[in-house]
């Protein structure tokens, strides 16, 4: 058990993660700086021809607040707050980041009550955001960008953008990144309270953006330390108390973004996007895709981190898993949005920053099966080959347990949207194989949609699907609600706020 490790050890671990290329100080050449300025010019030019690119603009303001206009019949029982997070400041002065993931985080809240729906949003005031605002230019290396003028990094959280997801847990609201610590946010005002450390001994130890919460509130998470080639595992109780933290060596190491937890095991995929420290490249560019190498699957006993196995599958890339569970015979089943390679991250999310339209190159949902008696693994697609998916979510009440329903964003690769992004929302039943989908008009670009249970309902029974979409034609943002049983009938109500927001990542719904 590493919980007994001293603070110096964990600081050493954190410093080891600074071995990443993103954290190596290297000034850019004149040619690179000129190229940086051209990114902004290319984006502005492309925006005139493709107005949907507005979702990759920097947020028009550092804070927003408005009442939403509702059309349709918003369900009376659907009350609570939808919190969302995502990159929102993509430029500082005339310097534009070279990757979508580099933007500083903005936290949003759609508050749904008997009085109606209101929206507010605020930039998360991280160390990075505040110090760069004072300086007037980029100071820190990003995930896929090395700015022209950089200052030395001494703390893994100094470049923390807090821009991936949000975690409501033990009466706190935390904004999550994956390379460092969470940032605590006031759940009512959305003001940034400060960086959050679960203990003084774990300051700066990476805490991924996709913790898994069991129905009783128990929290599991992981982090990766590229320079040290370590995967770290977190186990907290429902009150946020650290119960255990451990580490396992992974050499080679990649950048796992999400993981799976069952009643007995933790499962991580390490694709062959192998990290090699570099003095002169961004963190992303310090990784090399090696498709001839296997994707390694780490299966860990969640109550004894010293017990683990490595399995192998053909090379593949996954950002997100829906859920996982295991039966009494020791068969683990889980699903994931499987890409053939990480080109969407390496190329597409970089290209959009200079105005290049995506090519609907998304993932195909697969189910994986691990037999813990033989330590074998298999995989198979679960949807027709023309349906591509991402952002799989479940009813949170069956997290780590047997489940049958996935909610995902989707697109039909034979009928891609004008804007090239995922354009639909899909419900899929793993037991029956049935699915139904709704596709938004081309003037809208949807973001992650979530399942919200009807109060008093049994798990995976009645409820709604809610999610945001960007109406780039009207320059407005919609919050859409569907009856989960009839998604294909379209939204039953839409709440619209009178401004465009930047394209974001993940959210969580907190019921009243
Ligand atoms: Fe994610």
Q: Ligand 1 centroid to 320 CA: how many Å?
A: 6
Are 73 and 494 within 8 A, CB to CB? no
Q: Which of 235, 172, 166 is nearest to 450 (CA)?
A: 166
**How many residues does this entry show for the chain?**
512
Report d(CA 367, CA 65) in Å as an integer: 41
Domain count, the chain: 1
Measured between its terminal Cα atoms, the distance across the chain in Å is 37
Q: Ligand 1 centroid to 245 CA: how many Å?
A: 22
Report d(CA 476, CA 468) in Å as an integer: 11
Q: Ligand 1 centroid to 34 CA: how many Å?
A: 32
Q: Ligand 1 centroid to 276 CA: how many Å?
A: 23
Q: Ligand 1 centroid to 203 CA: how many Å?
A: 22
Q: Ligand 1 centroid to 90 CA: how many Å?
A: 19
Q: Ligand 1 centroid to 29 CA: how many Å?
A: 33
* pLDDT tens, per residue, the chain with 512 residues: 333 333 343 334 443 343 333 333 333 444 444 466 689 999 999 999 999 999 999 999 999 999 999 999 999 999 999 999 999 999 998 899 999 999 999 999 999 999 999 999 999 999 999 999 999 999 999 999 998 888 878 787 999 999 999 999 999 999 999 999 999 999 999 999 999 999 999 999 999 999 999 999 999 999 999 999 999 999 999 999 999 999 999 999 999 999 999 999 999 999 999 999 887 889 999 999 999 999 999 999 999 999 999 999 999 999 999 999 999 999 999 999 999 999 999 999 999 999 998 776 789 999 999 999 999 999 999 999 999 999 999 999 999 999 999 999 999 999 999 999 999 999 999 999 999 999 999 999 999 999 999 999 999 998 999 999 999 999 999 999 999 999 999 999 999 999 999 999 999 999 98
Q: Ligand 1 centroid to 208 CA: how many Å?
A: 9
Place of tokens 């960008």: 145
Q: CA torsion 463→439→468→492, rounded to 10°?
A: -50
Q: Ligand 1 centroid to 411 CA: how many Å?
A: 18
Contact partners, residue 247, CB within 8 Å, separation at least 6: 2, 13, 230, 231, 232, 233, 305
Q: Ligand 1 centroid to 223 CA: how many Å?
A: 13
Contact partners, residue 394, CB within 8 Å, separation at least 6: 322, 323, 403, 405, 406, 407, 451
Q: Ligand 1 centroid to 115 CA: how many Å?
A: 32
Q: Ligand 1 centroid to 38 CA: how many Å?
A: 29
Q: Ligand 1 centroid to 278 CA: how many Å?
A: 25
Report d(CA 332, CA 273) in Å as an integer: 25
Q: Ligand 1 centroid to 235 CA: how many Å?
A: 20
Q: Ligand 1 centroid to 368 CA: how many Å?
A: 19
Report d(CA 293, CA 273) in Å as an integer: 9
- Give the number of other Cβ atoms within 10 Å of residue 149's Cβ: 12
Q: Ligand 1 centroid to 268 CA: how many Å?
A: 14
Q: Ligand 1 centroid to 300 CA: how many Å?
A: 21
Q: Ligand 1 centroid to 84 CA: how many Å?
A: 12
Q: Ligand 1 centroid to 182 CA: how many Å?
A: 15
Q: Ligand 1 centroid to 318 CA: how many Å?
A: 10
For residue 126, the number of C-alpha atoms closer than 13 Å in the C-beta half-sphere is: 29
Q: CA torsion 61→64→391→450, rounded to 10°?
A: 180
Q: Ligand 1 centroid to 22 CA: how many Å?
A: 20
Q: Ligand 1 centroid to 262 CA: how many Å?
A: 19
Q: Ligand 1 centroid to 391 CA: how many Å?
A: 8
The boundaries of the domain holding residue 98 are 2-511
Token pair in block for residue 287? 């990784």
Q: CA torsion 464→470→471→474, rounded to 10°?
A: 120
Contact partners, residue 205, CB within 8 Å, separation at least 6: 10, 13, 14, 181, 223, 232, 245
User: The domain spanning residue 267 has which CATH number?
Assistant: 2.130.10.10
Q: Ligand 1 centroid to 119 CA: how many Å?
A: 23
The per-residue b/e assignment along 367-384, b for 16 or more CB within 10 angstroms, e otherwise, is: bbebebeeeebebeebbe
Report d(CA 200, CA 424) in Å as an integer: 44
Are 377 and 405 within 8 A, CB to CB? no
Q: Ligand 1 centroid to 507 CA: how many Å?
A: 10
Q: Write the pLDDT tens digit of every residue in 465-501.
A: 999 999 999 999 999 999 999 999 999 999 999 999 9
Q: Ligand 1 centroid to 210 CA: how many Å?
A: 7
Q: Ligand 1 centroid to 178 CA: how many Å?
A: 9
Q: Ligand 1 centroid to 125 CA: how many Å?
A: 21
Report d(CA 185, CA 190) in Å as an integer: 6
Q: Ligand 1 centroid to 164 CA: how many Å?
A: 7
């Amino acid at each position: 058990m590493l919980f007994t490790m001293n603070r110096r050890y964990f600081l050493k671990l954190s410093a080891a993660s600074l071995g990443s290329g993103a954290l190596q100080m290297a000034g850019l050449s004149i040619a690179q700086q000129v190229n940086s300025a051209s990114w902004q010019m290319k984006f502005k030019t492309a925006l005139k021809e493709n107005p949907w690119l507005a979702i990759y603009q920097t947020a028009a303001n550092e804070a927003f607040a408005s009442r939403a206009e509702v059309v349709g019949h918003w369900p009376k029982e659907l009350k609570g707050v939808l919190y969302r997070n995502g990159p929102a400041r993509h430029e500082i002065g005339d310097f534009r980041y070279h990757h979508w993931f580099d933007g500083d985080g903005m936290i949003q809240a759609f508050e749904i009550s008997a009085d109606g729906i209101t929206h507010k949003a605020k930039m998360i005031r991280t160390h990075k955001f505040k110090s760069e605002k004072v300086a007037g230019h980029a100071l820190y290396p990003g995930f896929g960008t090395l700015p022209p003028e950089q200052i030395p990094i001494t703390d893994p959280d100094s470049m923390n953008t807090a821009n991936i997801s949000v975690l409501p847990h033990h009466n706190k609201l935390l904004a999550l990144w994956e390379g460092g610590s969470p940032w605590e946010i006031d759940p009512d005002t959305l003001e940034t309270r400060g960086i959050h450390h679960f203990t003084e001994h774990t300051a700066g130890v990476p805490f991924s953006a996709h913790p898994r919460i069991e129905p009783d509130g128990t929290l599991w998470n992981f982090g990766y330390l590229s320079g040290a080639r370590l995967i770290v595992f977190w186990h907290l109780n429902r009150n946020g108390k650290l119960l255990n933290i451990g580490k396992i060596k992974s050499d080679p190491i990649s950048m796992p973004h999400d993981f799976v937890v069952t009643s007995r095991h933790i499962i991580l995929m390490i694709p062959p996007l192998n990290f090699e420290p570099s003095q002169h490249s961004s963190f992303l560019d310090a990784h090399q895709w090696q498709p001839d190498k296997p994707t390694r699957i780490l299966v860990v006993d969640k109550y004894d981190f010293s017990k683990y196995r490595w399995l192998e599958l053909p090379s593949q890339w996954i950002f997100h898993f829906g859920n996982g569970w295991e039966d009494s015979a020791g068969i683990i089943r889980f699903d994931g949005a499987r890409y053939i390679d990480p080109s969407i991250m390496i190329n597409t999310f970089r290209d959009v920053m200079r105005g290049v339209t995506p090519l609907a190159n998304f993932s195909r949902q697969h189910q994986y099966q691990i037999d813990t008696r033989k330590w074998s693994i298999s995989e198979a697609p679960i949807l027709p080959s023309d349906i591509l998916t991402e952002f799989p979510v479940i009813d949170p009440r069956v997290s780590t347990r047997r489940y049958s329903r996935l909610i995902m964003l989707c697109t039909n690769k034979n009928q891609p949207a004008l804007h090239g992004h995922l354009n639909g929302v899909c419900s899929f039943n793993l037991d029956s194989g049935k699915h139904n989908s709704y596709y938004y008009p081309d003037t809208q670009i949807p973001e992650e949609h979530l399942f919200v249970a009807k109060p008093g309902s049994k798990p995976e029974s009645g409820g709604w699907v809610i999610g945001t979409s960007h109406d780039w034609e009207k320059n407005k943002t919609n919050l859409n609600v569907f009856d989960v049983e009839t998604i294909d009938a379209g939204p039953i109500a839409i709440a619209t706020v009178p401004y465009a927001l930047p394209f974001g990542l993940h959210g969580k719904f907190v019921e009243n």
